Every structure is written in C-alpha cells, then in structure tokens.
Amino acid sequence: MPDLSLKILLVEDHADTARVMSRLLRAGGHEVQVADTVMSAIASASASGIDMIISDIGLPDGTGIDLIQEIRKNSKVPAIALTGFGMEEDVAKCIEAGFNDHLTKPVNLQKLEMVIRQLASPKV
C-alpha cells in the first residue's frame, strides 16, 4: 500500500486517549493536531488545511455532532466519529449529522487506518 500522510485534526477531551491516539496516528505517518473542545476544534479546522477530522462525540462544551454540523457549513473534509456510543441509533445520528464513518472505542487501529485510507482516497 502506498504511503499516506494526512493532516488529521483529532478532537478528544480525555488527555490519555488523545496522547495515545495521536502517537498511534503519527506512527502511521500522519501529522496530528489535537483539540479538546468543540470551540478549539472549529478554530483549528478553520485556521489550518486539515485533510481529515477524527472526533469524539462527548466533549466538555458540546458534542461531536455540534462540531460536525458547524464544520459542514463550510467544508466537506472527511470526518470519522470515534466514540463509546455504538448502538445503531448512535451510528445513524452521527452519519446524519455529517460524519462519513463511525467507529467505537476502544478503536481497532487496523480498522481505523483502513477507514482513513478509504475516506482519503479519491473517488472514481
């Protein structure tokens, strides 16, 4: 598989999870920027040319749903919901709000990288 290096905005308010996830994504060759609130994620997404968003749903100042709805007003950047909420209705709510995919925690790193590659590859 060819190397794929993306600028990823990781939105995660749990410091340990953010540290581990960003380390794993960087080990996969990606540049990672971390935001821990909806507001800081919106600012980061606006200020830098990111290639993808990976966001938790439960955040201290709102939800990942709030975040993606705001992002979708101006951007079609691929976005993955990464959350502990994995019921069918949770998945549907995330997709309806504008996420391209939904993964549950604890995340399977191979599955995450597969979804990143699928979303990043140009559509034919």
pLDDT in tens, 81-117: 998 888 899 999 999 999 999 999 888 889 999 999 9
Domain ranges of the chain: 7-107
Q: Are 114 and 80 in contact (CB under 8 A)?
A: no
Q: Average pLDDT of the chain?
A: 92
Type of residue numbered 17 = T
CA distance 74 to 25: 25
Residues in the chain, pLDDT under 70:
1-3, 122-124
What class has domain 7-107?
alpha beta
What's residue 70's pLDDT? 95
Phi, psi of 111 (to 5 degrees): -65, -45
pTM greater than 0.95: no
What's residue 1's pLDDT? 41
